[in-house]
């Protein structure tokens, strides 16, 4: 029987409402979050299909918790939503934790009224499903909260504490004691954290036992009290570390990079605006860090062409290199262009010594390049840009302050 005959005999089967709920749910799963909610209000059949858990898989609910809403949390549970971001909070945090007992991710970033008392009240029992917690910019949080988290959230894998300026070494000791499964920790701008706190994390102290040995990603941006000793602790205890952010850590020197060069699993290093890093430090990394895939030395004014020479001789697997505002020229570009064949991202913005010659070398040799930053490179012309734009995989080109000539 032809399809046309079926439709003639059963014309109502053409309507989307007659599709099986499983098929409707599959269709709805491709909608954005707002439209998922809208289709649920069309009719009963669509509502039932739209509330299927497969439609909401991986969705993060973004909530303003201002007044009581008895149906909110049962609705989240019914849809299988396990990730919640609280945009504003005027109710107790315990409502969220108890209302969604299978919660895996809780984002409280920027909720300035979150306090130690609020967290202690919320986490009175163990929450084994919670693996991601973001407390960035929750500025009232202190070490007291970390003690409670270490007790009740022992399966936590990701903890964001950026901007929590009251956190001290004691808090890191509590983390090292209780959060053994932690893989990612962000301590950006935790100004009271010192080398001793990093020693706790690395298990270099009897009180912290093994520390956070599973840690893979460590953010120490703008932790001004850290020195090379902190990197010694890291190299001795955090053997699984893959990424470290040391940007704006002004006391880190070339000598500290010797320790990082010894870490075979380290893949990404951010040294942006580390004023005491020079070509020598990059040489240390190049001697021992052949597995590094991403390096950022932007705004390190002691980095020049010699650093690129070292990189070209040792960091063959580099896929992302950022040296914006460094003292590099076409000569340095010449060295890396002939060896870093896997490079995908190159940020050389505000490198005012780069000319069309450098761009020509990039276009000829770095054929895998997909992203390049030329912001503020005012010695390049349309001739060089035309060559760059012929790169077969280029999809991001930042020109910024470039002036056409």
What φ, ψ does residue 284 adopt, rounded to 5°? -60, -45
Q: For the chain, how many structural domains are there in total?
A: 3
Mean pLDDT per 10-residue segment, the chain (405 residues): 38 58 68 69 70 68 80 80 86 87 93 92 93 96 96 96 96 95 98 97 82 96 97 96 98 97 95 97 88 96 97 95 97 96 96 96 96 94 94 92 49
Kindly state whether residue 7 falls inside one of the protein's structural domains.
Answer: no
For residue 27, the domain's CATH number is 1.20.1280
Last residue of a domain, one of 252, 286, 319: 252
What is the per-residue pLDDT for 4? 38
What is the per-residue pLDDT for 22? 64
Q: Do residues 195 and 285 share a domain?
A: no
Q: Do residues 36 and 72 share a domain?
A: no
pTM over 0.85: yes
Q: Do residues 377 and 274 share a domain?
A: yes
Q: Do residues 277 and 164 share a domain?
A: no
Boundaries of domain holding 31: 13-57
Q: Do residues 134 and 219 share a domain?
A: yes
For residue 311, the domain's CATH number is 3.80.10.10
Q: Do residues 200 and 322 share a domain?
A: no
What is the per-residue pLDDT for 360? 96
Q: Do residues 237 and 218 share a domain?
A: yes
Q: What is the CA radius of gyration of the chain?
A: 26
Residues 6 or more apart whose CB falls under 8 angstroms from that of 88 comprise: 64, 65, 66, 111
CA atoms within 13 A on the CB side of 344: 6
Could you give the angle at the alpha carbon of 85 between the alpha carbons of 83 and 89, nearest 5°? 135
Q: Do residues 376 and 318 share a domain?
A: yes
What is the per-residue pLDDT for 404? 47
Q: Do residues 74 and 175 share a domain?
A: yes
What is the per-residue pLDDT for 35? 67
**Six-digit token string for 295:** 């390096």
Burial of 248-283, coded b for 16+ CB within 10 Å and e otherwise, reads bbebbbbebbbbbbebeebbbbbbbbbebbbbebbb
Closest CA to 398 of 380, 40, 96, 27: 380
Could you give the angle at the alpha carbon of 111 between the alpha carbons of 106 and 112, nearest 5°? 145
Kindly state whether residue 4 falls inside one of the protein's structural domains.
Answer: no
Last residue of a domain, one of 5, 34, 57: 57
């Amino acid at each position: 029987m032809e399809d046309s005959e079926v439709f003639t005999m059963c014309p109502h089967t053409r309507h989307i409402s007659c599709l099986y709920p499983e098929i409707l749910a599959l269709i709805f799963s491709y909608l954005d979050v707002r439209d998922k909610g809208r289709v649920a209000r069309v009719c009963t059949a669509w509502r039932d299909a739209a509330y299927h858990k497969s439609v909401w898989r991986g969705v993060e609910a973004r909530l303003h918790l201002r007044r009581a809403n008895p149906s909110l949390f049962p609705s989240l549970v019914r849809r299988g939503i396990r990730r919640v971001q609280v945009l504003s909070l005027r109710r107790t945090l315990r409502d969220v934790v108890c209302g969604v007992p299978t919660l895996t991710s809780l984002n409280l970033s920027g909720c300035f009224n979150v306090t130690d008392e609020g967290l202690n009240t919320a986490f009175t029992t163990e929450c084994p499903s919670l693996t991601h917690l973001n407390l960035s910019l929750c500025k009232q949080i202190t070490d007291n909260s970390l003690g409670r988290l270490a007790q009740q959230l022992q399966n936590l894998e990701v903890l964001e504490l950026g901007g929590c300026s009251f956190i001290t070494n004691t808090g890191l000791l509590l983390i090292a004691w209780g959060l053994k499964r932690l893989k990612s920790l962000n301590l950006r701008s935790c100004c009271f954290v010192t080398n001793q706190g990093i020693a706790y994390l690395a298990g270099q102290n009897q009180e912290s036992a093994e520390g956070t040995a599973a840690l893979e990603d460590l953010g120490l941006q703008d932790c001004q009290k850290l020195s090379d000793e902190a990197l010694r602790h890291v190299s001795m205890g955090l053997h699984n570390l893959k990424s470290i952010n040391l940007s704006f850590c002004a006391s880190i020197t070339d000598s500290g990079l010797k320790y990082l060069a010894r870490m075979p699993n380290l893949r990404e290093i951010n040294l942006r605006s580390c004023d005491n890093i020079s070509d020598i430090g990059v040489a240390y990394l190049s001697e021992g860090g052949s597995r590094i895939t991403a390096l950022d030395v932007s705004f390190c004014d002691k980095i020049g062409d010699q650093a690129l020479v070292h990189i070209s001789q040792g960091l063959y697997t580099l896929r992302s290199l950022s040296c914006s505002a460094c003292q590099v020229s076409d000569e340095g570009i010449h060295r890396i262009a002939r060896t870093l064949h896997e490079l995908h991202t190159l940020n050389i913005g505000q490198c005012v010594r780069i000319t069309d010659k450098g761009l020509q070398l990039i276009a000829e040799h770095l054929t895998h390049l997909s992203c390049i930053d030329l912001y503020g490179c005012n010695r390049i012309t349309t001739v060089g840009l035309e060559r760059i734009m012929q790169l077969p995989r280029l999809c991001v080109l930042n020109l910024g302050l470039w002036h056409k000539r």
